[in-house]
Amino acid sequence: MNVTTLGQFIIEKQADFPYAKGELSRLLRDIAIAAKIVNREVTKAGLVDILGETGETNIQGELVKKLDVFANEQFIAALKAGGEVCGIASEENDDFIPIESEMSKGAKYVVAMDPLDGSSNIDVNVSVGTIFSIYRRLSLKGPATIEDFLQKGTEQVAAGYVIYGSSCMLVYTTGKGANGFTLDPSIGEFCLSHPNIQTPKNGKTYSINEGNYLHFPDGVKKYLKYCQEEDAATSRPYSSRYIGSGVADIHRNLITGGVYIYPTTTKNPSGKLRLLYECNPLAFVIEQAGGKATTGGKRIMELPITQLHQRTPLFIGSSEMVDKTMEFMKKYSLEKI
Ligand code: P6P
Q: What's the CA-to-centroid distance between 74 and ligand 1, angstroms?
A: 22
Q: What mean pLDDT is reported for the chain?
A: 92
Q: What is the mean pLDDT of residues 236-265?
A: 97
Which uninterrupted H or E stretch holds 160? strand 156-164
Please give the model's pTM, rounded to 2 decimal places: 0.94
Residue type, 202: N
Q: How far is the CA of 7 from the centre of ligand 1 (A)?
A: 32
Q: What is the structure's pLDDT at 53?
A: 66
Specify the CATH number for 205-336; select among 3.40.640.10, 3.40.50.300, 3.40.190.80, 1.20.1530.20: 3.40.190.80
pLDDT tens, residue by residue, 283-316: 999 999 999 999 999 999 999 999 999 999 999 9
| Ligand 1 cavity residues, CB under 6 Å | 117-118, 209, 244-246, 249, 272-273
Ligand 1 centre to CA of 244 (Å) is 5
Ligand 1 mutation pick, 209, 266, 282, 315, max ligand atoms within 8 A of CB? 209
Q: What would the pLDDT profile of 205-242 be if each residue is shown by its tens digit? A: 999 999 999 999 999 999 999 999 999 999 999 999 99
pLDDT tier at 58, thresholds 50, 70, 90: confident
Q: What is the pLDDT of residue 12?
A: 87
Beta-bridge partner residues of 231? 236
User: How many Å lie between the centroid of ligand 1 and the Cα of residue 113?
Assistant: 16
Cα 77 to ligand 1 centroid, rounded to whole Å: 26
Contact criterion met (CB below 8 Å) for 283 and 315: no
Please state, for a pLDDT cut of 70, what percent of the chain lies above it: 94
Residue 120's pLDDT band (cuts 50, 70, 90): confident
Among 245, 261, 268, name the best residue to mutate to test ligand 1's pocket (greatest count of ligand atoms within 8 A of Cβ). 245
CATH class of 6-194: alpha beta
Domains of the chain, by residue range, sit at 6-194, 205-336
In 3-state terms, what secondary structure has residue 14? helix
288: Cβ–Cβ under 8 A, 6 or more apart, which residues?
173, 175, 176, 177, 178
